[in-house]
Amino acid sequence: MSKRIVALAPLAGFTESAFRRLSRELAANLTWTELISADALLAKGLDLPNSYVSAAERPIRFQLHGYDEKKLAKAAELVLTKIRPDGLDLNAGCPAPKVLKTGGGAALLGDLPRLFRLARTLSEISHGFGVDFSVKFRLGLKEDQLEKIAETLLKAGVDILVLHPRTAKQGFSGKARWERIKDLAILAKGKAQVYGSGDITCLKDLGIFFGETKAQGVLIGRAALTRTWIFAEWKLAQEFELNFYGRLSLLRKLDFYLSEYRSQEERLRILKTFAPKFLKSMPYKRKFLPLILKAKDFEFFWKGLEYWAETCR
């Protein structure tokens, strides 16, 4: 439909390798890792499940979060050397209290001199490895300071500005201010690309988003969990629905991809987090879902889903 980028957004607890791979199979232009702590990487290395990257999910941007410049620099060099992602990203937008209290995530928006130093350092390291550098951020910590933040990031040499147009204080409440993404696109024109996110729920929203914002790309987060095929809809320029069996097949593919690097116990736990999302609008959900989520083994889990599917025929 267009050369504009429609990507899978980073979502903590969801966008690990298996779901990224599934999204790419369904035509996402690129994927993003969930935010990964620089401290955790340096302490535990790259053998963590959320650091696993398969060839099938590329192109991929690896997102780090942290507060300490030296630790972030070391983590970036480790990731770029060992994993060789297609781009590096700094999270300056996560509003989760456990991230804010570390000084990372959206807390960086309250300390622009530090944000500048971190972004400049990571930008230089990324460019040294031949990849571009992005920062995912919000309008501000408690109030809208877009122009100051944008100026800071552009001076630091950031290649892609990724804006979720709410403040950290807002969380996901209220309406995403797409007009501020347009303002950012004007500010950054000729200096950096602009991607946006927020309140994309269907194919129609994507068309409106690009028309209103003039952004080069969009990240889809929460909607990708309940309508993972939205990427294919964009590629085909056609809206369509998946029946129960179609959604069940996506869940089975997800399990197959998880089996490459997750234990059976972990797989079952993860599938239980995805099942309510994939099957959100299916009939008899109140009847069957609680039973399926109580499954102690794969046999009961899949048999319960098959029985639910038969009931929906």
* Residues known to be catalytic: 94
Dist. CA 275–CA 199, nearest whole Å: 22
Residue 209 exposure: Cα atoms within 13 Å on the Cβ side: 29
Chain centroid to CA 106: how far? 15
Is-contact 196 166, C-beta < 8 A?
Answer: no
Q: How far is CA 218 from CA 174, 202, 292, in A?
A: 19, 13, 34
Dist. CA 40–CA 36, nearest whole Å: 8
Q: Rounded to a whole number, what is the distance in angstroms from the first to the last CA of the chain?
A: 33
Burial class (CB in 10 A: 0-12, 13-18, 19+), 30: buried
Dist. CA 311–CA 313, nearest whole Å: 6
**SS3 per-residue string spanning 265-285:** HHHHHHHHHHHHHHCCCCCCH
Which DSSP letter does residue 106 get? Answer: G
Q: Count CB neighbours of 72 within 10 A.
A: 26
Residue 6 has φ and ψ, to the nearest 5°, of: -120, 110
Contacts of 229 (CB under 8 A, 6+ apart): 26, 240, 242, 250
